[in-house]
Structure 1
Amino acid sequence: MNDLINIFLKHTFELNINWLLCIHFILVTYFIGVIISVRRPVGVAFAWIFIVMTFPVFGISLYVLIGERPVGRKLTRKITRMNREYSEVTEGMRIKYASDRQQLPIESRSFSLLAESNNGTPVVAGNKVDLHTNSLQILQLFIDEINQAKESLHLEFYIWALGGDADRVGEAMIAAAKRGVACRVLLDSLGSKDWFKSKWPARFRNAGIEVTEALPIQIGRFQFRRADLRLHRKIFIIDNAIVWTGSMNLVDPRTFKQDSGVGEWVDAMVRVEGPVASQFELTFSFDWSVDNPRITHFNNQRAPAAPNEGGVIAQELASGPVYRDDILYQVMISAIIDAREELTITTPYFGPDDGLMQALMGTARRGVRVTLIAPKLNDSKLVAWSSRSYYADLLNSGVHIAEFHGGLLHTKSLLVDKKTAIFGSVNFDQRSLRLNFEISLIVYNKDFCSKLETLIESYLAQSNYVDPKVWSKRPRWQHYLENAAHLTSPLL
């Protein structure tokens, strides 16, 4: 009897093992097919295939979470539908402002065309652009703008942090809504998670302020939408005529992330008056329509463009997955290659791919002075180690690397030959260039670029250049640690 039981158990065990192996084979084969169905860098594809084959449960779960760039089938359909409706407005802009491009130098015209391609917005003349560099003063100016607003206030940010003067901005918004100003607030679900858990959403809604949570993280829907796609834009629009944009979230640097050990965050913003403000209003309207589940079609009110306020030619550059895929990446590559004398990049997070690295190294080797300014201390150790894995190749190519020690340098800018600037929310990493919804202002104006250069010089005064000889002699364990962290760079 015992022999029969043992034979039965052995047979059952072998049968279960065979079934498990069969299921394993089917799942792995299926996901390998999914991986190769999308054309991606060969190294990335083989890395995913290796992970899925070696650690099927972990690998498949990881691939479902972050392996591709989907925003979800339902949201993709909505974006596609609204993008067709949105294109009617942008086409009208391109026709209306077509002559403004002729005011640009010949070498800048093709660059502006790239930035407006794939349903983007054109260069427009007649703007006034002011650079602001003190975060507390910027928050006070936000409050002043809110107090003076007559018609509408539209805010779109990645983070609204609790505490300090950021709360004063919230109180001013409530007061504005009570006096009849139409207020809308669009915040990223993850970046502003503490704000959404606080009393502020209820207070805003009770005051008549419309609040929408962008890209909410929903457990159980990861198989349909990548979990780490974020709304990273920073946009504040007053009366459809004035716009603020740049690197700064709605945070008070005196209270924000004070336990991270990196000091206060250092940011910069621009205040823009003029026709380009309507481009930011258009982007806000599009994002609001996409992220608000009650809206099914994009129905922009076509607010009249703000009147000319100055002599600056500028252009908004909005980007994101599904929405204008890879245009931002192509613009960055083009800006680097177009540099003839000087190229300066400020970024808190540095994680380029091979294409950007080759562009930077090639630009330095043909005699352009290329300078990268990044914070010495970072709020993410993994990002810091990964960033430094690129240093040796950059230094050997002649790129100058300066590490800022006056806090966490959060300003994101690219200055080309002191006459063209890209300024906004974009980090020089693959997350900003491939995954996040980002916003930038391209400024074709030497006076503004001169002001940005002055700001950059102030950063350099608080920085130390990395010495190539000293860097080459760093401990071997640091080299291995940096290269190990580099393997995670596509995910950071």
Structure 2
Amino acid sequence: MNLLAYLMNVFFNIHLIWLTPIHILVVAVFFIRMIWVRRPVGVVFAWLLIVILLPILGIALYVLIGERPVGRSLAQKIKRMEKDYVVVSNEMRRHFKDDVHLLPAEARALSQLAESSNGSTLIAGNKIELVSNSQEILQQFILEINAAKTSLHLEFYIWALGGDADLVGEALIRAAQRGVACRVLLDSLGSKVWLKSAWPKRFRNAGISVTEALPIQIGRFQFRRADLRLHRKIFVIDGLVAWTGSMNLVDPRTFKQDSGVGEWVDALIRIEGPVVSQFELTFLFDWSVATNQITRFIDPHPQISAKAGSVLAQEFASGPVYRDDILYQVLLSAIMDARSELTITTPYFGADDGLMQALLAAAHRGVKITLIVPKLNDSTLVAWSSRSMYTDLLSVGIRIAEFHGGLLHTKSLLIDGRIAIFGSVNFDQRSLRLNFEISLIVYDKDFCRDLENLIHSYLLQSDMVDPESWSQRPRWRILLENAAHLTSPLL
């Protein structure tokens, strides 16, 4: 016993003499780093607490996900591509400079903000169709591919195996064999199963170019954050038609059927008209950045389609490298500009303090706000964290609808029935800060009416959260929700 006590005393003295100063030094260096990069106060203290309690694990986690670096080589390539991109976007801006005068005065501020930092300009003369049946979307994809004459450009976060998604692949192979130039850009993580399957080889053998965006490379985490993802959904046919929205290239009848949340419920928009050129330009930029063999921005002059309708719209691309935080500013501005009604559909709700205060302020000034989220979510942590904010939202009269018809994956913001933001953006910190995202801002009452009808169909399949019942939920649930919410600043 005396020997054991002696050994414990020696260990304690060694820890006190050597490990404690090292621990203090590590925390001090880490704190200086946090001050140097000027992170939000809540984020600083959250990380600092982790490093104090678990220094080795904390530092390792911070290296992996603590900041937003994309890596020096990728950042340099993006800057190099941007030189050509700026020239093209400025030409496009001059070409459509008069279209902004067709926009109502109350919408011009939002459009100008979305265009800032070399964003896409407002364009008139478009035709936009909202399609909400996933099987119909996949069948239309096949028809569009079969009719394509010159080029097919596909950019998705996920291409999943099985069902009609495979039929899209077969149609693409046939198109390439008849001479259509086909390019496929997929996120390395989201499409990892597809990328490891036989499909990439089949595509390349047929003459289809396949590129893996943001590949995860073990050992390079210290140079590029591993969870920065290409989350966009873009499909451009012959430079004349574009599809975008929330749906990945998946068949919901076969996709993630073991997750216990039901089929994924999505929607896309089909676009004709000159705004298609903006989606083509974004695809070409992303393709040039992701493809190792390309050193300069390829084909920087996409054709501009003839007018196909009367809809005013502008493509809205965002990401952690260029146009940093512009997405956050646009969403914040949209909420603050709302005068009568605001409806949000999102599978993942993770508003920070700024967005929460904007929502609460809008509700206080009389805006009717409805938040529609899935009742069952494939991310338990996100679900618990989201529910930690319900009490504040319900207290000011914001309606919360939990969709029970599957995993609602549609991402939209409808403002006063006159402006819609529709695309790949979740209302969470990952989309706002980390992902490369794409949306279309539509300034058209007819389209907004179609979106409102779709939203109404979601509400018919939703349970409204009752404020009184919610306030009486068990204390252990409150504790879990608030604990889960603590993880949100670490993103």
TM over 0.5: yes
1:325 match: secondary structure = coil
1:156 match: secondary structure = strand
The count of residues paired between Structure 1 and Structure 2 equals 484
On the 8 A contact 1:70/1:226 being kept in 2, the answer is yes
CA drift at 1:380: 1.3
2:377 match: secondary structure = coil
Give the corresponding residue for 1:385: 384
Residues 222-233 of structure 1 aligned to structure 2 (within 5 Å): 222-233=221-232
Given residue 390 of structure 1, which amino acid in structure 2 is its aligned partner?
M
> What are the Cα deviations for residues 83-124 of structure 1, in whole angstroms up to 9, with x where unaligned?
222111111111111110000000111110000100101000
Instruction: Give the Cα separation in 1 of the matches to 2:249 and 2:431.
Output: 19
- Over 3 Å counting, the alpha-carbon distance change for 1:177 and 1:17 in structure 2 is farther
On the 8 A contact 1:431/1:491 being kept in 2, the answer is no
Give the corresponding residue for 2:28: 29
1:51 match: secondary structure = helix
User: Does residue 152 of structure 1 match 2:168?
Assistant: no
User: Does residue 425 of structure 1 match 2:421?
Assistant: no
Give the corresponding residue for 1:108: 107
CA drift at 1:74: 1.1
- Over 3 Å counting, the alpha-carbon distance change for 1:56 and 1:240 in structure 2 is same
Give the corresponding residue for 2:121: 122
Give the corresponding residue for 2:455: 456
CA drift at 1:398: 1.1
User: Does residue 96 of structure 1 match 2:95?
Assistant: yes
CA drift at 1:490: 3.7
CA drift at 1:27: 3.3
CA drift at 1:40: 1.9
Unaligned runs of 5+ in 2: 1-8
Given residue 134 of structure 2, which amino acid in structure 1 is its aligned partner?
S
CA drift at 1:491: 5.1
Give the corresponding residue for 2:332: 333
1:88 match: secondary structure = helix
Instruction: Give the Cα separation in 2 of the matches to 1:297 and 1:21.
Output: 52
CA drift at 1:280: 0.4
> What are the Cα deviations for residues 298-321 of structure 1, in whole angstroms up to 9, with x where unaligned?
233402201100000000000000
Unaligned runs of 5+ in 1: 1-9
- Over 3 Å counting, the alpha-carbon distance change for 1:19 and 1:175 in structure 2 is same
Give the corresponding residue for 1:280: 279
Give the corresponding residue for 2:4: none
Give the corresponding residue for 2:484: 485
2:110 match: secondary structure = helix
Give the corresponding residue for 2:37: 38
CA drift at 1:147: 0.3
CA drift at 1:12: 12
Give the corresponding residue for 1:468: 467
On the 8 A contact 1:157/1:249 being kept in 2, the answer is yes
Give the corresponding residue for 2:373: 374
Residues 62-461 of structure 1 aligned to structure 2 (within 5 Å): 62-461=61-460
- Over 3 Å counting, the alpha-carbon distance change for 1:367 and 1:11 in structure 2 is closer
> What are the Cα deviations for residues 226-282 of structure 1, in whole angstroms up to 9, with x where unaligned?
111100000000001100000000000000000111110000000000010000001
Instruction: Give the Cα separation in 2 of the matches to 1:440 and 1:366.
Output: 28
Given residue 270 of structure 2, which amino acid in structure 1 is its aligned partner?
R
On the 8 A contact 1:389/1:482 being kept in 2, the answer is yes
On the 8 A contact 2:43/2:490 being kept in 1, the answer is no
Instruction: Give the Cα separation in 2 of the matches to 1:180 and 1:18.
Output: 73
Instruction: Give the Cα separation in 1 of the matches to 2:351 and 2:400.
Output: 15
On the 8 A contact 2:46/2:490 being kept in 1, the answer is no
Superposed CA RMSD:
1.7
CA drift at 1:30: 2.3
CA drift at 1:446: 0.3
Instruction: Give the Cα separation in 2 of the matches to 1:490 and 1:440.
Output: 24
Given residue 174 of structure 1, which amino acid in structure 2 is its aligned partner?
I
Instruction: Give the Cα separation in 2 of the matches to 1:431 and 1:91.
Output: 30
2:117 match: secondary structure = coil
- Over 3 Å counting, the alpha-carbon distance change for 1:455 and 1:491 in structure 2 is farther
Give the corresponding residue for 1:5: none
After superposing the two structures, state which structure 1 stretch, 30-39 or 328-337, moved more.
30-39
CA drift at 1:20: 4.7
Give the corresponding residue for 2:5: none
Give the corresponding residue for 1:3: none
Given residue 164 of structure 1, which amino acid in structure 2 is its aligned partner?
G
CA drift at 1:196: 0.8
On the 8 A contact 1:361/1:398 being kept in 2, the answer is no
